Amino acid sequence: MKIEEVRARAFAMPLTNPSFPRPPYRFYNREYIVITYRTDPAALAAVVPEPLVVTDNVVKYEFIRMPDSTGFGDYTESGQVIPVSFNGEHGGYVHSMYLDDDAPIAGGRELWGFPKKLASPKISHEGEVLVGTLDCRGLRCAVGTMGYKHKEADKDAVLKAMMAPNYMLKIIPHVDGGPRILELVRYYLEDIQVKGAWTGPAALELFQHVTVDVAKLPVLEVVSAIHYVADLTLGMGEVVHDYLA
């Protein structure tokens, strides 16, 4: 293979059989259960990197079911997003993500820098209760429950929240073990269609686990919960701060 062909073909690893196709990625009927809870401000300060600024001592714990996503297939995800601001603009810092499918783990980490790790999240409808769970190798790490469609939510407000910027750290190591890339990345969701949104009572428990460390941001009080379904496109990222520059 000539050098020019390598340059033309290479966008992901492995070179001749990448783990995921080229973007963009469209998601249909993406189902969210988002439980917002109050946590320890010191715990937030310990994990949110400058130049991001924590705007409130709350965390959004997410369970997301993705039954139909171009390129990535059918999978489920769970993790934590922290409200922050960057240069005065409010958004969310993606702190942790756990999912059960190789392609979006590889693509999310390599393209955007999503902090994705392999685990076993699940969303189920158990009678009048929505249930979100996160397990890792047979051990329970998180469980969230929410009343099923108690009250319709404002879809315009949900759309506005989904359109806010999201931030994460993209870290790619050098061959010597140090960082080759260390960047703060911003991305947006695009072409969003909110199909339905509901609120209801909720509960959330997080359990200590050495590799799934969601409990390091402890639940002090559940503030609110929302359940919604939407179609969307995952927009590509942009570098807003280079830590190695």
The residue extents of the domains of the chain are 27-229
| Digit-coded pLDDT (tens) for 47-78 | 999 999 999 999 999 999 999 999 999 999 99
Whether 2 is catalytic is no
What's the pLDDT score for residue 54? 98
Q: Binning pLDDT at 50, 70 and 90, where does residue 83 land?
A: very high
- Chain centroid to Cα 119, Å, comes to 14
| Digit-coded pLDDT (tens) for 94-135 | 999 999 999 999 999 999 999 999 999 999 999 999 999 999
Q: Binning pLDDT at 50, 70 and 90, where does residue 229 land?
A: very high
Domain 27-229 has CATH 2.40.400.10: yes
**pLDDT mean across residues, the chain:** 97
Q: Binning pLDDT at 50, 70 and 90, where does residue 208 land?
A: very high
Q: Which of 2, 116, 149, 160 is catalytic?
A: 116
* Count of alpha carbons within 13 angstroms of residue 48, beta-carbon side: 28
Q: Binning pLDDT at 50, 70 and 90, where does residue 200 land?
A: very high
